[in-house]
Amino acid sequence: MNFILVAIGGFVGSILRFYISIKLNKRLIGTWIANISGSVLMAFSIFFYSIHVLNESHWLFLGVGLCGSYTTFSTFGNEALQLILNNNMKAAIRYIISTLFISILVIISILVLLGYKF
């Protein structure tokens, strides 16, 4: 059953990610938005799972499946590499740093605001 929950979450997350890329018609900004908004969703998922509002099944669907497929590390890596290969180092550095820094900062900030005990 766990595999099915992760698979369904992954299906939903990948469809949402694809929808963003179509709506924005820009791969770079679409990936950035998916990674940042996915970090927000992950922070709430972590918090609610830690205080037992989400059970194991909800966590597998939402945290592992949906967030795992909605956020796009492989696409992020490819787009960063393409910027580097196209000799656009400033944009590559901004993209890499902003994605990583903001994603982590968002998760930590939300968890702190929600009162998560580290």
Residue 92's CB is within 10 A of a number of other CB atoms, namely: 18
- Considering only CA atoms, which of 105, 92, 95 is closest in space to residue 39? 105
- Considering only CA atoms, which of 16, 50, 49, 48 is closest in space to residue 33? 16
Question: How many domains does the chain contain in total?
Answer: 1
Residue 24's CB is within 10 A of a number of other CB atoms, namely: 15
**Does residue 118 fall inside a structural domain?**
no
| pLDDT tens by residue, the chain, 118 residues | 999 999 999 999 999 999 998 898 877 898 999 999 999 999 999 999 999 999 999 999 999 999 999 998 888 999 999 999 999 999 999 999 999 999 999 999 999 999 998 8
* Domain encompassing residue 70: 2-113
**Does residue 79 fall inside a structural domain?**
yes
**Does residue 75 fall inside a structural domain?**
yes
